Structures are given as C-alpha cells and as structure tokens.
Amino acid sequence: MGTDKKSKSRSATREKILQAATQVVMDRGVEALTLDAVAQQAELSKGGLLYHFPNKNALIVNLGERLLQNVEAARQNEFEQDDAPGTPGQWLRAYVRSTERMSKESLALFARLSSIIAKMPPELLQSAEAYEQRCHQRLEADGIDPVQATIIHLAIDGLWFSEIFQMAVPNEERRAQVVETLLTMTRSLQ
C-alpha cells in the first residue's frame, strides 16, 4: 500500500513537471525551456525535477511522448464513438475527427516543439516514428483502398499542418466542408 502511494505521488509529480514544461513552452517559447524554468514553474527544487528527469533531453522526450499519448487517446475515443462501428474506414474516420478536434493547446505545443525537431533527441524521433508506423498499420488494415486512405490521411494532416504553421488556413466554413468531405470519402470507398 505504501509503495502504491509513492508510485501515485511520483506519477503526479511527473505529470506536474510535464504540465509545467508545457506551460513554459506555451508562455515563453521553446528557447525558454530550461530545467531551472520548469522547476520554478512546477514549484519544485531543481533536484526534485532531476529526480524525475535527469536532463533536458529526458524532459523533452517525455513531453513529446505525453503529447503522442494524448493524441492516441483522443483517436481511440473517436474510434469508440464512431457512428458506423465495425465498418471499413472506422479508424480513418477516428483519425480525421481526432485531428480535426485537436485542442488549440496541442496544436500550439506541436508548433513550438517542431522548431527544435532537427535537434531532438533520437529517442523522441524513435517514439514519433513508432507512432507513425502504428498509424500506417492501422490505415492499411482499415478495410478501404490503401491509396485513397493515404490521400485522406495526408489531406487531414495537411490541414493540421496549415493550422500549426498558420499558413493557408481555410476559414471555418471551408474547413468544415473539407473535414466533412474527408469523412464522406471514408464511407464511399468501402
């Protein structure tokens, strides 16, 4: 029982640190992401932070993994709430909907973290590559033409990237039309 409490406490502290790191990045940009800044934001000593994350790379890796986990959880939630469960295209519809509904905070965090992608630790890139591989496998097994599914996948990702980088962002009406067309395509390709 005591070990369980310690584990929950460690987990809560790790989450507090990751939330603090997110806040630092959101408020001050990725260049302000230092261990000192995160410790201060989390109201912990630097030693307390280092107990959970031994260096900045470990913090960045965990921040990226947390973001990917949140995206996957949102996607799973959309999958379970699909209006045509068990039909071809269910996973792709979940992908479109979860990407379309991604929070503004997640979009902003992705945008800010992308500025350091070239300098990211190999471990984070491995996590992202594994995530993309899982997406690709689900896409291939979704029961619709893989080429058409890839087109839908790339289209929603393109919409997402346009929003992240604030380039050629369609107005709300056009955006809704694009998303609805992509969802319709997942049904018409069965």
Break the chain into its structural domains and give their ranges. Answer: 1-54, 64-188
Residue 91 pLDDT exceeds 60: yes
Residue 76 pLDDT exceeds 80: yes
Mean pLDDT, the chain, whole residue set = 88
- pTM value is 0.82
For the domain 64-188, what is the CATH superfamily, name and number? Tetracycline Repressor, domain 2 (1.10.357.10)
What's the CATH number for 1-54? 1.10.10.60
Residue 124 pLDDT exceeds 70: no
| Residue in the structure block whose two tokens are 């909907």 | 97
Helix axes 35-42, 2-28, angle to 10 degrees: 120
Q: Are 89 and 120 in contact, with CB atoms under 8 Å apart? A: no
